[in-house]
Amino acid sequence: MSQNRTFSFEFFPPKTPEGVAKLRTTRQQLAQFKPEFFSVTFGAGGTTRDGTLAAVLEIQGEGHAAAPHLSCIGSTRESIAAILQEYRNHGIRHIVALRGDIPSGMVGIGEFRYANELVAFIREQHGDWFHIEVAAYPEYHPQAVSATADIDNFVRKVEAGADAAITQYFYNADAYFHFVDAVRAKGVEIPIVPGLMPIANFSQLARFSDACGAEIPRWLRLKLQAYGDDIASIRALGLDVVTELGDKLLTGGAPGLHFYTLNQAGLVSTVWQRLGL
């Protein structure tokens, strides 16, 4: 099994001073695992632009690699160009390029319709300055017209200049392996790192999953539902499920893992230790 694996942790930009302090503590706990990078999400239409940059600069200032997310929906070429230049001025070399969700009530979707257009624009403006990650959907994007169309979409992002991909979270390892086989058959060779989401809270997970098209297997959903408000049992089952999934993915040749932390260190740290990383 290759040891050149990439492990990364994702945060969202905190909105309050308490959130900033809490994220600092979370980051200190996760930094001991020496991840390849920390990524920081970006609100639809640039709503968290300043928060994303502030978090990334703080991470960099602590001596860690950081990758801001950049979503293009609802943006102009001019506004995206300004953000890219700002990142470059700060020495940021790594970006997670996304289309982003269309906020409800948004009238115009802006000058970029798809992530491949954003990737092409970044390359056109900055050549190879940025290492570009894109998103992959093993269970297919919820708005994709078909599985085939979604695969083609992914291939377009890679052809536009993506260096690597991070997947949406999922709980079915086969979905990941089938997706990788399908895009490899289309000539895609970039690393596709699976995203893992620890399970802390069933109602929150169900809400996220319904919104992003990630499937909670029926047996898992029913078992989690049956625990009701028994948080300890939900977390114990979640730790078993996510650890087993991570193990299956790494054993099957996944090039690393990307953890959706929700700005919490506890469950991620436990999964990390259980996987023997």
The CA–CA distances, whole Å, from 127 to 24, 37, 120, 157, 244 equal 33, 21, 10, 15, 40
Q: 76-84 contacts: CB < 8 A, separation 24 or more?
A: 76/110, 76/111, 77/111, 77/112, 77/121, 79/46, 80/112, 80/118, 80/121, 81/121, 81/125, 83/46, 83/49, 84/122, 84/125, 84/126, 84/130
Residue 140, CB-side half-sphere exposure with 13 Å CA sphere: 13
Contact between 38 and 67 (Cβ < 8 Å): yes
Q: Give the three-class secondary structure for 151.
A: helix
Q: Is 189 a catalytic residue?
A: no
Active site residues: 10
